[in-house]
Amino acid sequence: MLLLNEKQLFKTNLETIRSGFLFIHKWLRHLYWDLSAFHETTNFEHIKKHYFTSITPLNPAGIVPLSPRLDILEK
């Protein structure tokens, strides 16, 4: 959950991890790029789909929104 969509579903939209929590953002980038096990097993599309479809009362239509390319994917 920390990786994606931190503001859409749970309405925590004061800051994003990328812009409001610089050290967490850097740590996540480190995990993704410097630890091969993390990079090789992280499937952002699966995370996003599960996130938006697993809590039916919060998203009864099961809509998975389009999203921009994650900047963590750019080294």
Q: Are 44 and 4 in contact (CB under 8 A)?
A: yes
| pLDDT at residue number 35 | 93
Residue 73 lies in a domain: no
Residue 39 lies in a domain: yes
Residue 64 lies in a domain: yes
Instruction: State the greatest distance between any 2 C-alpha atoms of the chain, in Å, as a whole number.
Output: 38
How many domains does one find in the chain?
1
Residue span of the structural domain in which 23 resides = 17-68
Residue 4 lies in a domain: no
Residue 11 lies in a domain: no
| pLDDT at residue number 1 | 46
Distances, alpha carbon 34 to alpha carbons 26, 46, 55, 69, 70, in Å = 11, 21, 32, 20, 17
pTM of the model: 0.63
Residue 26 lies in a domain: yes
How many residues belong to the chain? 75
Tens-digit pLDDT string for the chain (75 aa): 455 555 555 655 577 788 888 898 899 889 989 999 998 998 888 988 998 898 888 888 988 888 777 766 666
Residue 1 lies in a domain: no
